[in-house]
Amino acid sequence: MPHRHLTELLRRLPELATAESSILQAYEILRDSFQAGGKVLLCGNGGSAADADHWAGELLKGFCKDRPLSMQERGTLRPEIAQKLQGALPAIPLTSFPAASTAFGNDVDPALAYAQLTSALGRPGDVFVGLSTSGNAKNVGAAAEVARAKGLPVIGLTGASGGKLKAWCTVCICAPSTETYRIQEYHLPIYHCLSLMLEENFFGQK
């Protein structure tokens, strides 16, 4: 069962017990979105930008499973291609649009670059994920505001207080620290746990 991964996370890092319910709620939001054909949009700054890209990578290919394509997914693909492709959960790191982001930042407002991308790419049924160790990143907060206005659930990964981002979140996973580097150290096992839970739900038990 997917929930065993959360149990294991809390066994290794018992201080994350304060975030147990929010991690479970985030899993359910993501699961339901992917089940319905939605995607996830992720963003952050600095180390959190790297985490957004990292997490997307765990969703877009096999994480702890090979995720072989079904016969239907293989379709008319040549075997040498079909046998190597892996099942995926659609994720877009908004950090990966340097031309659009820098053009918008130069022409309009750099603090709204993620908001612009969220407005452009977000569709009903999608999920927005904002990573901010303080919870006060203006560009992440603005993108979360746009996501909520478009009807997207918002998942935040922050530090202990949740910061200003918390007000825009459907669920806010607050790492139990106020130190940036420690918050980032908690964020990685949290989104790895969510990746494991989602992978098991959609691609079967390892």
Per-residue pLDDT of the chain (206 residues; tens, 9 = 90+): 889 999 999 999 999 999 999 999 999 999 999 999 999 999 999 999 999 999 999 999 999 999 999 999 999 999 999 999 999 999 999 999 999 999 999 999 999 999 999 999 999 999 999 999 999 999 999 999 999 999 999 999 999 999 999 999 999 999 999 999 999 999 999 999 999 999 999 998 54
pTM of the model: 0.96
Query: 1: Cβ–Cβ under 8 A, 6 or more apart, which residues?
Result: 200
Cα dihedral sign for 178, 181, 183, 186? negative
For residue 187, with 0-12 CB atoms within 10 Å meaning exposed, 13-18 middle and 19 or more buried, which class applies? Answer: buried
Query: Which of the four CATH numbers 3.40.50.9100, 3.40.120.10, 2.60.120.260, 3.40.50.10490 does domain 3-203 have?
Result: 3.40.50.10490
Sequence-ordered strand ranges (E) for 68-126: 91-93
pLDDT at 1: 80
CA distance 52 to 45: 9
CB–CB of 119/104 below 8 Å? no
Q: What is the pLDDT of residues 163-185, one digit of tens each?
A: 999 999 999 999 999 999 999 99
